[in-house]
Amino acid sequence: MNITLAQAENVIAVAKERSVSIDTKMNIAVVDAGANLVAFARMDGAWLGSLDISIKKAKTARFFDMNTGDIGGLSQPGGALYNIEHSNGGLITFPGGVPIKNAAGEIIGAIGVSGSSVENDHTVAAAGAEAL
Q: CATH code at 9?
A: 3.30.450.150
Judged against a pLDDT cut of 90, whether residue 92 lies above it is answered with yes
**Residues 130 and 25: beta-carbon distance below 8 Å:** no
Q: Which domain range does residue 77 map to?
A: 5-129
Q: What is the pLDDT of residue 74?
A: 93
pLDDT digits (tens, 9 = 90+) for 35-81: 999 999 999 999 999 999 999 999 999 999 999 999 999 999 999 99
pTM of the entire predicted model: 0.96
**Amino acid symbol at 19:** S
CA distance to 31, 78, per residue, from 97 (Å)? 11, 23
Residues 6 or more apart in contact with residue 88 via CB below 8 angstroms: 59, 60, 63
CA distance to 7, 77, 79, per residue, from 54 (Å)? 18, 24, 24
Q: What is the pLDDT of residue 112?
A: 98
Per-residue confidence at 107, pLDDT binned at 50, 70, 90? very high
In angstroms, the CA 63 to CA 82 distance is 16
Average pLDDT over residues 11-40: 98
Residue closest to 112 by CA, chosen among 83, 132, 91: 91
Domains in the chain, number: 1
Q: What is the pLDDT of residue 1?
A: 84
Fill in the DSSP letter of residue 99.
E
